[in-house]
Amino acid sequence: MAGLHYSSRPSSSSSLSSSSSSSASAYQAFASRLLFLLTVLPLTLAFFAFVLQWRGGLNDDPVNRWSPVRHQFPGMETSESPSRTASGTACLDPLARSRSPSFPYYRDWKFDYSSDLRPKSPVMFQICITTSTSAGLEQTLPWIFYHKVIGVSNFFLFVEGKAASANVSKVLESIPGVKVIYRTRELEEQQAKSRIWNETWLASFFYKPCNYELFVKQSLNMEMAIVMAREAGMDWIFHLDTDELIHPAGTREYSLRQLLADVPGNVDMVIFPNYESSVERDDIKEPFSEVSMFKKNYDHLLKDVYFGNYKEATRGNPNYFLTYGNGKSAARVHEHLRPNGAHRWHNYMKTPHEIKLEEAAVLHYTYTKFSDLTSRRDRCGCKPTRDDVKRCFMLEFDRTAFIIASTATEDEMLRWYQERIVWTDKELNMKLMRKGILTRIYAPMVIIQGLRESGVFSSVIAEAEQASLSKEKFLSSVESSNSSRTTTSSRAFSSRKIGITDSQGTARRVLEFTDDSTHPSAIPPLSPPELDDDSEAAT
């Protein structure tokens, strides 16, 4: 019995063999089914897609809807282009210039609109710039349209000299958002009544020639521009020269509007430190399009870097910068706002709360052309002596340049210009670039070159010429009615519009309860800190 019972039980080895065989069979069956599904599923989906496409089931696909084969892009003409082939496969040239040039940086911003041109922006406040200029169109047009691109809507141009000539002024007047104010006898009479003459903050600049006279003129023009800015509904106002460009660094969209939108509401004035152009050639013709190297402001450098490289960066000139180093500013257009010289603003009723920007700057293209030496000389009648030039110029380099331009030969002037102004030493340039003193800024160059290549400037000039012809015909038909207007009524209207008469009485009342301690002296163009100022700057 024991032997029979033993023979009837399976051995352990046969049991393990049977179990492993059944597992292998199950795994093979699962793998076969999985392989079948992976093969059949893609084929099924492909077949299903083919059926839908064949029956037209994908005609509503968004990509197909806006395909250039069937339709134009949104906003373009819906009519078929005559250049298309019968099959409809020809494409429109996306780089073709339109008959009416537009900014490449703002969609649908055309230049033939009669209404005011204002860039589309989620920020609704308006920015204006005022300037006093005698420059021609080759400088003024790039200056205006560059600032339009970055968000400036209005310009108040106080013009004289070349800028006031008929050919230049008619173009400037044709640009939407630009108001041209001529230096007429009437304007001078209005400014002679300004309250500024009865105050002390600008008195040290009165009755002096050249730069001092220009400084007073700029301040008087700024005072009028404030009134115009309020009437136009402006929120911010700048004063810039036409050799200066705002550089709104620190914003993702390179937008001045966005930059000012981030300024806290309790801030009244924003200071933009200036960077100074560092030209690398002596044959620059169009500075805005040819200059990309700039020297940084002291405010944007570490103190040790600035003073540690001061002598190399100065290159034998009187100061680190050739001209001013205290930047320019923007002010909110509030009640009682007044200029405080060409570089700052102030308020008759309070001390403005100001901040200084850490990245944004004003790019100053100074002495960028060799002809700048003689042009500055020709605008001033001072004697080329060390004593007399102090009466005319506030900064030491301007005095030296005036004497050189007045006494040296053409070859001597060019040699001096190359030694003191042109940066030809590439090793020194690279060293100062690594230190952060010199920097490359290409954005203005790219924007202005783009505007020029798109035909904006030539289009504005051509349209102004055409409008001028129509205007002349119109003026000839109403000349008799214009001549009947009296000079007295014209002056009265202008005074009321600018607000001189109304502000005169207010000025007298304000002066009764304000003291000079709340009205500091106007801030002139100041040089950056000198090497001897190291100990003072550290305190």
Strand order in 361-364's β-sheet? 244-247, 361-364, 274-277, 293-295, 438-440
Q: Give the per-residue pLDDT at 49.
A: 72
Q: For residue 128, which of 202, 233, 236, 56 has the smallest C-alpha distance?
A: 236
Average pLDDT per 10 consecutive residues for the chain, totaling 539 residues: 42 48 68 78 77 52 40 38 40 40 44 42 79 97 98 98 96 97 96 96 95 97 98 97 97 94 96 98 96 98 97 96 98 97 96 97 97 88 92 95 95 96 97 98 97 95 84 53 41 35 35 46 94 55
Q: Give the per-residue pLDDT at 125.
A: 84
Q: Give the per-residue pLDDT at 511.
A: 30
Q: Report strand pairing: 269-272 vs 354-356.
A: parallel
- 362 in Cβ contact with 296 (< 8 Å): no
Q: Give the per-residue pLDDT at 516.
A: 44
Q: Give the per-residue pLDDT at 2.
A: 42
Identify the DSSP state of 310. Answer: H
Q: Give the per-residue pLDDT at 6.
A: 38
Q: For residue 238, which of 214, 252, 218, 208 has the smallest C-alpha distance?
A: 218
359-382 b/e (C-beta count within 10 Å ≥ 16 → b):
ebbbbbbbbbbbebbeebbeebeb
Q: Report DSSP letters for 226-294, one per residue.
A: HHHHHHTT-SEEEE--TTEEEE-TT-TT--HHHHHHTS-TT--EEEE-EEEE--S-S--S-HHHH--EE
Q: Give the per-residue pLDDT at 377.
A: 85
Identify the DSSP state of 404. Answer: H
Q: Give the per-residue pLDDT at 123.
A: 52
